[in-house]
Amino acid sequence: MTSTVTPTTSAAESTTRTKQERPSLTYKEAFRQYLYGPSQQESEQMVLNQTQLVSNPAHFDNHFRTSINDVPITVAKEYVHTNQPLHLHEFAIEQASPALTQNASDNGNVLVMMHGYGAGLGFFYKNFDGLSAGLRDWNIYALDWLGYGLSSRPKFTIQTAKMSETRQAGSATTDTNSETIIKAVEETENWFVESLEAWRQAKNIKTFTLMGHSMGGYLAAAYAFKYPENVNKLIMVSPAGVETGYTPDLDESSFLSLFRKDSQVEEIKEKGPELQEELGPNLNAYDESKYQEPARRNVGKLFTYLWNKHISPFALVRNSSFFGPKLVSNWSYWRFGRFPEAEREAMHMYSYRTFGARPSGEYAITRILAPGALARMPLLTRVQDKLKCPSVWIYGDNDWMHAPSGFEAANIMNRIGRRDLFAEFHVVPKAGHHVYLDNVGKFNNVVLNFIKRKV
């Protein structure tokens, strides 16, 4: 059943959006930003100030209290090789009193939001108001992964010898070092998973709903696989590393059109449909035998060389001195160009400071993914045995991530036939890979309906 979804309007959306025409900073502006621009902490605060939660808490009748914290964590040296103290950086949206905050935590009413590759918690700024309005009895925490944003940035030391020789562990045609790959991937996953688990313990949170975007989605799934008892529900937002290198024998544009529904997202009933109707007739009719043709992502030789040498794409920003802000603005002014000027400038500076910070966790991507963004240990081969909670797989209709693989992952989980493992699949219209930014209201609606759906 399809019904109209009324977008949840955030403070960031309440201002009229006008597409900015200027393509990037001038060299003079870039030079001034390099010398006098706000710090990483200040630029994060500029972004969070765009929310009602921070700038006008009375909008929520002072129902919430927000804070920005560095939470000390203790991670065994077998997972993170450092003698330095570690912390995860968080933006916390909690109940007004400590007692109510603890009560929400005790009841599992906790949403943890994890960003994608190269990003930071501030990228979710447009979602905080809307999600909080829909989850008034919940605590929401947005974190910077270890090695990203304002979290600790220890040296990334996981060995990768011989990994460049193959694409995926167990590949019959290319793999000669599966054990090497599996070891490096597992060590890399644990680098992030164990730091997130240490944060959970430090916060005294029993169970929570976990959301991850892009590579953060991959790592969120890895956490759910290792600590299934801690995760109530899993929200996969345009996740990386799902596909196995094969795609359904189905034209992708036709596939996505099945779910556009006249530019509306299907609203899920609170109790949900019968299990056999979880994702509609299109999913039930999906033919697994069609999952045959190799996925093709054309990757240039230079890109492949740099990838296999584990050279970070952000090194260019760091090594460009006063050209750095201009380089980033070529992307940020395009990416955030339709936002109001204050938001665009805040997100530009936040992106520049985040991209240019000391390198650390960004090196994980070449251990987890092969050139072309195919996972060395794909999630699609692991969900059936390791995912033990309900999940939702969300993509934009102009997403460069492989939506049919998320569709298949949801199908795999629903074929198990257990209501406590149900899965949903959604394609949000007028959205790309950053679906949570591109169509905020409809993305928030999908998330809220999934969270509120009874198991």
Domain extent, residue 288, equals 11-452
Provide the CATH number for the domain around residue 125.
Answer: 3.40.50.1820
> Who has greater pLDDT, 3 or 150?
150
Question: What pLDDT digit, counting tens, does each position of 36-92 carry?
Answer: 899 999 999 999 999 999 999 999 999 999 999 999 999 999 999 999 999 999 999
Q: What percent of the chain has pLDDT over 90?
A: 62
251 is a domain residue: yes
**Residue 449: per-residue pLDDT:** 98
Contact 152, 39 (CB under 8 A): no
Residue with tokens 């009193």: 97
The DSSP string of 198-224 is: HHHHHHT---EEEEEETHHHHHHHHHH
The DSSP string of 369-419 is: EETTTEESS-GGGTHHHH--S-EEEEEETT-SS-HHHHHHHHHHHHHT--G
C-alpha 439/C-alpha 115 separation (Å) is 17
Residue type, 97: S
393 is a domain residue: yes
C-alpha 72/C-alpha 208 separation (Å) is 19
**Residue 455: per-residue pLDDT:** 82
Other CB atoms within a 10 A radius of the CB of residue 76 amount to: 9
Nearest to 272 by CA among 397, 394, 455, 100: 455
The DSSP string of 99-118 is: HHHHHHHHTT-EEEEE--TT
C-alpha 229/C-alpha 352 separation (Å) is 38
Q: How confident is the model at residue 301 (pLDDT cuts 50, 70, 90)?
A: low
Q: Element (H or E) spanning 130, and its range?
A: helix 125-134
- For residue 134, list its beta bridge partners: none
Task: For Cα atoms 282, 283, 286, give the angle at the middle one, nearest 5 degrees.
Answer: 90
Specify the range with the lowest mean pLDDT, choosing from 97-111, 159-173, 273-287.
273-287
pLDDT over threshold 90, residue 444: yes
Return the active site residues: 214, 399, 433
Question: What pLDDT digit, counting tens, does each position of 225-279 carry?
Answer: 999 999 999 999 999 999 986 433 333 443 344 344 433 333 333 333 333 333 3
pLDDT over threshold 50, residue 8: no
Q: Which tokens is 284 given?
A: 């039930």
4 is a domain residue: no
Average of per-residue pLDDT across 197-215: 98
Domain count of the fold of the chain: 1
48 is a domain residue: yes
β-pairing, 208-213 vs 231-237, is: parallel
C-alpha 50/C-alpha 65 separation (Å) is 16
Q: What is the mean pLDDT of the chain?
A: 82
C-alpha 285/C-alpha 276 separation (Å) is 11
Torsion angle of C-alpha atoms 332, 337, 338, 339, degrees rounded to 10 = 60
Out of 15-19, 79-83, 172-176, give the one with best mean pLDDT. 79-83
Average of per-residue pLDDT across 163-184: 58
- Evaluated on CA atoms 100, 14, 265, 231, the torsion sign reads negative
C-alpha 68/C-alpha 210 separation (Å) is 19
Other CB atoms within a 10 A radius of the CB of residue 290 amount to: 12
C-alpha 171/C-alpha 187 separation (Å) is 20
C-alpha 438/C-alpha 399 separation (Å) is 11
Question: What pLDDT digit, counting tens, does each position of 406-442 carry?
Answer: 999 999 999 999 999 999 999 999 999 999 999 999 9
- Sorted by sequence, the CB contacts under 8 Å of residue 389 that are 6+ apart come out as 224, 228, 231, 232, 233, 234, 420, 421
426 is a domain residue: yes
pLDDT over threshold 60, residue 159: yes
